Amino acid sequence: MLRLRTAAIVALLALGAPPARGEDADVAKGRELANALCAECHLRAGQGEKEGPMGVPGFVAVAKRKTQTYDGIIRWLEAVPPMMPDHHLTQDEIFDLAAFIMSLRTEP
């Protein structure tokens, strides 16, 4: 059994390491997804951070949160937050959407 596991690990390593999360993320594709799926709630003109418990933050405000990270957005989307519709995003779509949102960050 141990030999089988070791052989499987060696075989996987021989194929090369998988690409880093979102290494091939595409901001333009993420923008298209955001416009198609998210714009009604998250891309309204002048929209900032959410106001009140039922408020919806704009993507610019999400990107500008002091502790926001690309991986943080990915984790949020992978969790399918209960207050959002489940768009059944693929992993690549999640990476692209996260890349687009983080592209809206204008300060480090």
Q: Would you list the domain boundaries of the chain? A: 19-103
Of the listed ranges 3-17, 49-63, 72-86, the least confidently predicted one is: 3-17
C-alpha–C-alpha distance, residues 68 and 93, integer Å: 19
Instruction: Classify burial at 6, counting beta carbons within 10 Å of its beta carbon; exposed 0-12, middle 13-18, buried 19 or more.
Output: exposed
Q: What is the pLDDT of residue 80?
A: 85
Q: Does the domain at residues 19-103 carry the CATH identifier 1.10.760.10?
A: yes
101 or 82, which is more confident: 101
**Residues, the chain:** 108
